[in-house]
Amino acid sequence: MINLDDPKKLRPLASQAHQVAMNMLRPISRKYDRAEHEYPQELDMLAAMIDGLSESGASSGAGASGVRRDEKEEKAGVKNGTNLASVMSIQEMCWGDVGLLLSMPRQGLGNSAIASVADDEQLERFDGVWAGMAITEPGTGSDSANIKTTAVLDGDEYVLNGEKIYVTAGGRADHIVVWATLDRDLGRAAIKSFVVPKGTPGMRVDRLEHKLGIRASDTATIIFENCRVPKENLLGSPEVDVKQGFAGAMATFDNTRPLVAAMAIGCAKASLDLTRDLLEQAGVVIDYDRPAVTQSAAAAKFLQMEADWEGARLLTLQAAWMADNREPNSLEASMAKAKAGRVGSDITLSCVELAGSIGYSEAELLEKWSRDSKILDIFEGTQQIQQLIVARRVLGLSSAELK
């Protein structure tokens, strides 16, 4: 029998995350939406609490994580719930506020890249850092394989040159994981990731973006001009494996895409919960024992949104579970990201519509959640890119065969 309930051992973590979202994030949500680029000082205390829980082994944290598919661990049959715990807690935290979750110290998407790709020495050396992730470039869009930022080995250092845009937490993180190519002639296989400490000569934050949503989170443009980093800061192996191609670098996305899907699920759940209350106050009854076609249009629409939300949630849990159990989850990660990104945006906008003037005004947070959710359908790979990846996996075609 298939059990679709949340794992019992992770329910206390999800409950704690929900309490944090309700009592710490939701009350300051509007404040930092209006005060764009102002750092939320309240998060420092929350980050310290999460660090304490992680050190005690009581929690795996409420932000980014990663699982390395280590051969020895696979043979030993080692299993854990790190990714599943992360998506469940992220969902609850984003019920409070997506932008604030993305602003959490030491919980950046770059941290997930380090956890997924770094060797044992690097994991120890970069333990406790706050890492943003710099992938997107002007003119590159969702085609990460077309990265133009270069990394040239010069003695014991790599010299980085290029421009990165839309770097989440780029102005606040103390380290940036930069994707760059060792040799553009070798294509995708030569793309590697480098950990660059903030303040390294040749690296500068050029500007912070003004955005539609997630305004509590800073989004930066970062310039690299002859920026020298130790060769030991290249994550994983420096060898270029033409046969493996882009798989090594893309493995990071197999862990981060379910996390972004969880953000969309949490934001959509917040909209559903509030809209249900507003509909009940307006006298709209949602009856789960009657067919939708026999109920009001508003109730039928709400039931359809809940069904879509549940599908996205289950896909996300599946992708995270597979990562925890060292099973290839590239297909499932993209399916979860595509479904949750689209559903999250559809639900939040529909909730604004159902709530009418209340939904469109700042009297409630519905309009904010509709703005916040849109980015979750775009970054970490757009809706269209996810559908393309899914099609390739299902049909067994390469990126050259299906573009």
Catalytic site positions: 380
Measured distance CA(189)–CA(198) in Å, rounded? 27
The CA-based angle 43-46-48, given to 5 degrees, is 110
Measured distance CA(336)–CA(358) in Å, rounded? 31
**Phi-psi map region of 150: left, alpha, beta (phi>0 left; psi -120 to 50 alpha):** beta
Select from 23, 28, 22, 26 the least CA-distant residue to 41: 28
